[in-house]
Amino acid sequence: MTDGRKASWRISQAEAVQMDILPGWYATRGRRRLLAATGAFSLGLAWAMAGVVWVAGPDEGARWIVLTLLAVMLVIYLPAVTLMNVATRGVTALTERNLDERQVGERLRATAVAHRLMTRLLAALACLTLVVGLLRGREHMVPGSTLLYLSLAVALTHFVLPLIVSCWRMPDPPPDDEDEDERSSSAGGGAAAGAPGIGA
């Protein structure tokens, strides 16, 4: 890809994350956390595919289960990642030159949290592999198809986990000054209306 195409791609990507696509899905912190949980669920389906292949092996029935899980995962994963990128305004997707200082700081924090979570996940996977090896004997080998699906699950998790963390952590924006003034004036007007007159 040439420099001109790279620049054009960065510009189009920055413009895309500024578009409000289905804003009701991420308007509040609760909805953004639900969206992040949906993205995490789609990653769980990727890990489930690896588990099915590991347990069932290259069986025809397992193949259909994996294809079904893959279809469901893609239906959930693609819109969830798109909406999370829009909700976070591309904090983890854009280059640092397209982010302000606050966004860069949030990106670093989300990446640090995701790194800790990923380390624990890999440690748990290593422990599981050791336990299975001890139970099945030293001659047990992990099938190549299982390694393929495990690699896919690890890659997707490594790629998307910072975005999920950022979407989960994102707070609601502070209220506008005009809204605060309106609430203050309405509260003051109500108090004045309820106060007794001097001559009462």
The reported pLDDT for the residue numbered 73 is: 95
Q: Phi and psi at residue 18, in whole multiples of 5°?
A: -90, -10
The answer to whether residue 185 sits within a structural domain is: no
pLDDT at residue 190 tops 90:
no
What's the distance, CA 82 to chain centroid?
A: 9
Three-class SS of residue 139? coil
The answer to whether residue 50 sits within a structural domain is: yes
Of 105 and 143, the one with more pLDDT: 105
114 Cβ neighbours under 8 A, 6+ residues apart? 161, 162, 164, 165
Q: Average pLDDT in the 87-98 region?
A: 82
Count how many domains the chain has.
1
What are the C-alpha distances in Å from 62 to residues 52, 118, 129, 192? Answer: 7, 27, 20, 72
Range of the domain at 159: 23-171
Q: Is 143 left (phi over 0), alpha (psi -120 to 50) or beta?
A: beta
Angle, vertex CA 162, rays to CA 160 and CA 166, nearest 5? 120
The reported pLDDT for the residue numbered 10 is: 61
The reported pLDDT for the residue numbered 191 is: 46
The reported pLDDT for the residue numbered 128 is: 84
The answer to whether residue 52 sits within a structural domain is: yes
The answer to whether residue 79 sits within a structural domain is: yes
Verdict on whether the full-model pTM lies above 0.85: no
Q: Average pLDDT in the 106-133 region?
A: 90
DSSP code for 171: P
The answer to whether residue 93 sits within a structural domain is: yes
The answer to whether residue 196 sits within a structural domain is: no
Query: For the segment 8-59, what is each residue's pLDDT rounded down to a tens digit?
Result: 656 665 666 667 777 788 888 999 999 999 999 999 999 999 888 888 776 7
The answer to whether residue 64 sits within a structural domain is: yes
The answer to whether residue 182 sits within a structural domain is: no
